[in-house]
Amino acid sequence: VTRDEASAFTGFAANPLDRRAGLRVNAEAIRSLAAGPVRVVVMCGERMVAAPGPPVEAAFDVATAARFGAGPDIFLGVGEDGTAWFGGQSQRAEDALKAEGLMVRDLRPLMVERAVDDATLAILGQARGLLVWHRTHPRCARCGEGTVIADGGWRRSCPACGASHFPRTDPVVIMLAHRGDACLLARKPVFAPGMYSCLAGFVEPGETIEDAVRRETLEEAAIRVGRVAYHAAQPWPMPFSQLMIGCFAEALNDDITLEDAELEAGRWFSRAECRAMLEGTHPEGLFCPPPAAIAHTLLRAWIEGAG
């Protein structure tokens, strides 16, 4: 399988697991996998549980996971070495886990610090996407009763009304709008000071990817977009499971008007300036998201002539 595609170099993309989706409905087969060599990714609320390193240990055998209050609830897939990977939600309090010497941390700093290798990071992202969905959807959206995990964690079933609910992944467009030698970057108030990134937004019912790119760019910056070119995709598990769809967008006008609520600053940046931002040498100290972010992938490809 060729891996020279742009998506393969985005964060959370290097997932090595064989998901064996056909096994999910087979509870006996999953129990049998859980009895062999296993790694369990454990979450406490919306944070990852890990043993401090180096190297940081972000998944555990079944007995250790049980000691941390988590079972092999969600079947993630099987690794190349035959290890079955699961996810589990700890039933213990964060402080109790910390008292045992464990780290209980958000996934984002683990990503930024490169605390685990790329393959493990991707598995943590997959686990987070599923576990957070289970955590935030304990009840039936149709009838209101409590639902239960089914199909190895790939479904929730309602014993009261019979409805099935499936893990949710929201498609999001993220685009680098460009015009001549310049591209449009902006910042939200929540960004670290000095950081600029691409515009982005959810794809809505009734839209193509390209129409969503045009709508969001117009809404957020009053920039009209013509041609849209898909470049790469990225699974992004924070705050919940999203599919980031990265595109280049040909801008048709220069005059940026920012939407008040979403963005606090935005302007055109030259290729040279973007290169300095990626390399950390921008004279004003401006910078871009880290390599794991698809905004970084888009920006680097554009500097090198894509789009």
Instruction: Note the residues at the interface with its own copies (CB under 8 A).
Output: 1-2, 5, 7-8, 10, 12-13, 15, 19, 21-22, 122-123, 125-127, 129-130, 133, 136-146, 165-171, 202-211, 214-215, 219, 224-228, 230, 232-235, 237, 241, 243, 245, 252, 259
Rounded least distance, CB 272 to its own copies, Å: 28
Q: Please, which residue, 197 or 241, has the CB nearer to its own copies? A: 241
Q: Is the peptide bond before 138 cis (omega within 30 degrees of 0)?
A: no
Q: Please, which residue, 181 or 259, has the CB nearer to its own copies? A: 259
Q: How far, rounded to the nearest angstrom, does the alpha carbon of residue 3 sit from its chain's CA centroid? A: 20
Both tokens of 212, joined, read 């969503």
Rounded least distance, CB 273 to its own copies, Å: 28
Q: What is the CA radius of gyration of the chain?
A: 21
Q: Please, which residue, 139 or 275, has the CB nearer to its own copies? A: 139
Q: How far, rounded to the nearest angstrom, does the alpha carbon of residue 147 sit from its chain's CA centroid? A: 25
Q: Please, which residue, 97 or 172, has the CB nearer to its own copies? A: 172
Q: Please, which residue, 145 or 304, has the CB nearer to its own copies? A: 145
3-state secondary structure of 241: coil
Cα–Cα dist 146/139, whole Å: 4
CA 127, 112, 272, 212 dihedral sign is positive
Q: Please, which residue, 3 or 101, has the CB nearer to its own copies? A: 3
What is the 8-class DSSP label of residue 270?
Answer: E
Rounded least distance, CB 231 to its own copies, Å: 9
Rounded least distance, CB 233 to its own copies, Å: 4
Rounded least distance, CB 100 to its own copies, Å: 28
The residue among 275, 269, 262 whose CA lies nearest residue 200 is 262
Rounded least distance, CB 151 to its own copies, Å: 12
CA 289, 105, 19, 60 dihedral sign is positive
Rounded least distance, CB 7 to its own copies, Å: 4
How many Cβ atoms sit within 10 Å of the Cβ of residue 96?
14
Cα–Cα dist 290/292, whole Å: 6
Q: Please, which residue, 113 or 204, has the CB nearer to its own copies? A: 204
Both tokens of 272, joined, read 């040279």
